[in-house]
Amino acid sequence: MDIAVIGTGHVGLVTGACFADLGNKVICVDKNEETINNLNKGIVPFYEPGLKEIITKNTKNNRLAFTTDIKEAVLNSLIIFITVGTPTKYNGESNLVYVEKVTAQIAEIINSYRLIVEKSTVPVETGIWVKHTIKLKASKNVVFDVASNPEFLSEGNAINDFMKPDRIVIGVENEKSEKLLKELYTPLNAPIIVTDTNSAELIKHASNSFLATKISFINSVAEICEKTNADIEKVSKGMGLDSRIGKKFLKAGIGYGGSCFPKDVKAFIHIAKKKGFNFDILEAVSEVNKKCQENFLKKIKDNLWIIEDKNIAVWGLSFKPGTDDIREAPSISIIKKLLDEKAHIKAYDPQVSEKQFKNSIDGKIEFFDNIYDTINNSDCLLILTEWNDFKEVDLKKVKSLLNQPLIIDGRNIYDIEKMQNLGFTYISVGRPTVNKKVDYNNNQIFSTNNKENI
C-alpha cells in the first residue's frame, strides 16, 4: 500500500520504517528540514535499538523515503498517518495545534479518496474535529474517511512493540476504513480490536493512565515499606505473580517520566473535567509521582546534610533505559533542584549527550564518557536510570573512588545484602537502608570512616 506518515518523531519514524519493512511504499514527512536532511543521509535523529538498520534497508530498496514536501507525500498515498506531537498546555490540556495544522494541510491537498488516520495520542472526540476540519477546507466533492489508530510502542523496545503488538486498535466509521486498516496490519498477525473513533481514542488515554496508576500505586506501597522496614521488591513479586495483577509496571522507583505518561495523565484528567467528570484517581496518581522525586531529594539531603559545593555524581539521565529521550525525565527535576542548592553535578549516561541535556537544563554540570571518572572525588552517587551498564560495574572500584561510600539508588538496581557486605551506605526505594550513617529518628550518628571494608 502507499502510505504517508506526517511527523517523523519517535512514533512516525518507527511507524514509517516498520510499514516499509512489511512491504509497503512509505513517504515520511517532517517540517523540520534538518531532520529530513539527516534522514536522507542515513542519520537517525534519536537512539532507538534496531531502527537505523531498518531505515537503511528500506531506503536502499526504495520502499522508504523522507521529504519536507507534504503535498508530494499526500498525493502519492492512500492512507495518511498523522504522527505529530501533542504536547501539554500550561493547564494540562493536550495541545492539538500540530494536529490541526497537518489536518488543514492534508485537506487542502487531497483530490480523491484518502483515509486519514490519527496515530498521535489525542483526547476523545479529536477525530470529530479532524473530520470537521477536512470538510471545511477540502474541495467539495472529495471523499475521505477519518480513523483512529493509537500507537502503544514504548521507546527502547519500539520496533519489537510495533512488529509484535499485544493488540492493534482501530477506531473507524465504516467498513471501507476497517478493511483498509485490517489489510495493512494483516502481516503482523496480531489481534485487531475494531471500535468507533471515540472509543479508540479513549483506549489509548485509559491504557497509559492505567499504567501510570500502577506505578504510582507501587511507589506508594514502597513508602509504607520504608516506614516498616519491609522490602518492596518482595512485595511487588508477591503481588505480581497473581495473574489478575501481573508483574509489569510494579517496579518502585523515582516515578514515571518520558513524553507520554505525564502528558497523557494530565490530558485525560483535563478532557474528563471538560466532560463534567473529576478524575480523582488520576489527580492522585500525578501528585504521587511528583512526591517520588521530592522523597528522593529528601534522601539526598538526609545523607549529605548541606548540598552546596558537594560533588554529586549522577548515573543515568534518560527517562528509562534503551533510549536517549529525556523529555520529562526525573533526572531533570532532580538535577535542577540540586543545582538550585549549588551542588556540582557530574553526569554520565550511555546515550544522552551533553549538548542534548544542556538544552534542557542550565547550570554547573560536568559530563563524562566514563562511568568511573564520573564518581571520582564525589560525595555520593545517584542512580536515576536503570541502564544495564550500571548493574555490571566493579563496586569495589566504585567504593574506592567515592569520597564516602554513599549510593542513593532511585531504581533499586543492586542487591541490598551485597551492598551491605561491601560496606556501602546504600539507600534505595522501598527497601531497608544498609549501613546507615545518620539515623534521624533515633538521633544517632554511626561510624563515618569513609573507606572501611574496601
Ligand X SMILES: NC(=O)c1ccc[n+]([C@@H]2O[C@H](COP(=O)([O-])OP(=O)(O)OC[C@H]3O[C@@H](n4cnc5c(N)ncnc54)[C@H](O)[C@@H]3O)[C@@H](O)[C@H]2O)c1
- Greatest CA separation for the chain: 82
CA 107 to chain centre: 31
Shortest Cβ 282–ligand X spacing (Å)? 16
Residue whose CB is less far from ligand X, 94 or 412: 94
Spatial neighbors of 16 by CB under 8 A, at least 6 apart, are 3, 5, 8, 26, 27, 28, 64
Binding segment toward ligand X, per CB under 6 A, in 55-63, 82-90, 209-217, 371-379: 82-90
d(CA 179, CA 380): 58
Look at strands 406-409 and 425-427 and give their pairing: parallel
Separation in Å, CA 445 to CA 42, 299, 303, 441: 57, 16, 11, 11
- Kindly tell me which of 231 and 325 has the beta carbon lying closer to ligand X: 325
Environment class of 296 (CB within 10 Å of its CB; exposed 0-12, middle 13-18, buried 19+) = buried
* C-beta of 127 vs 405, nearer to ligand X: 127
Contact status: 67 vs ligand X (CB under 6 A)? no
Count CB neighbours of 408 within 10 A. Answer: 23
Q: Which of residues 310 and 327 has its CB atom nearest to ligand X in the complex?
A: 327
Could you tell me the smallest distance in angstroms from the CB atom of residue 305 to ligand X? 39
Pick the binder of ligand X from 101, 131, 182, 437 (CB under 6 A).
101
Q: Between 88 and 425, whose beta carbon lies closer to ligand X?
A: 88
Site for ligand X in 188-207 (CB under 6 A): none
Q: Cβ-count burial of 131 within 10 angstroms (0-12 exposed, 13-18 middle, 19+ buried)?
A: middle
Least distance CB 47 / ligand X (angstroms): 13
* Shortest CB 15 distance to ligand X, Å: 9
Q: Which stretch binds ligand X (CB under 6 A): 79-87, 230-238, 348-356, 386-394?
A: 79-87
Least Å from the CB of residue 150 to ligand X: 7
Instruction: Report the site for ligand X in 23-62 (rule: CB under 6 A).
Output: 29-32, 35
Q: State the minimum distance, in angstroms, from the CB of residue 86 to ligand X.
A: 4
Helix (H) or strand (E) holding 395: helix 395-401
Q: Copy the grid coordinates of residue 9.
A: 518523531
Q: Where are the alpha helices (DSSP H) in 312-385?
A: 330-340, 354-360, 371-375
Binding-site member from 103, 121, 374, 428 for ligand X (CB under 6 A): 121
Counting contacts by CB under 6 A, is residue 386 touching ligand X? Answer: no
Which range of residues in 94-102, 136-144, 239-247, 343-351 is near ligand X by CB under 6 A? 94-102
Catalytic status, residue 260:
yes
Say which of 18, 225, 260, 380 is annotated catalytic: 260
Q: Is 84 in the site for ligand X (CB under 6 A)?
A: yes
Instruction: Name, in order, each residue with C-beta under 8 angstroms of 318's C-beta and a sequence gap of 6 or more.
Output: 324, 325, 326, 329, 331, 349, 351, 352, 385
Cβ(73)–Cβ(67) below 8 Å: yes
In whole angstroms, what separates CA 131 from the centre of its chain? 29
Which residue lies nearest ligand X, judged by its C-beta? 9
The dihedral through the CA atoms of 85, 86, 87, 89 has a sign that is positive
Footprint of ligand X on residues 295-354 (CB under 6 A)? none
260: contact with ligand X by CB under 6 A: yes
Size of the site for ligand X (CB under 6 A): 26
Q: How far is the CB of 264 from ligand X (least distance, A)?
A: 7
- 434 has which bridge partners? 426
- Amino acid of residue 339: L
The interface region with ligand X, picked from 1-9, 175-183, 188-196, 344-352 by CB under 6 A, is 1-9
Based on its alpha-carbon atoms, the radius of gyration of the chain, rounded to whole angstroms, reads 24
CB-CB contact of 42 with 13 (8 Å): no
- CB-wise, 233 or 264, nearer to ligand X? 264
For residue 189, count other CB atoms closer than 10 A to its CB: 8
Q: How far is the CB of 428 from ligand X (least distance, A)?
A: 27
Nearer to ligand X, 195 or 403 (CB): 195
Strands (DSSP E) contained in 68-165 are 79-82, 114-118, 144-148
Out of 98, 256, 261, 426, point to the residue binding ligand X (CB under 6 A). 98
Q: Is 102 in the site for ligand X (CB under 6 A)?
A: yes
Give the nearer residue to ligand X in terms of CB position, either 102 or 413. 102
Q: Which residues 2-21 are close enough to bind ligand X by CB under 6 A?
A: 6-12
Compare residues 195 and 420 and give the one whose CB is closer to ligand X: 195
What three-state secondary structure class fits 153?
A: coil
Q: Which residues are catalytic?
A: 260
Site residues for ligand X per CB under 6 A: 6-12, 29-32, 35, 83-86, 98, 101-102, 120-121, 151, 153, 155, 259-260
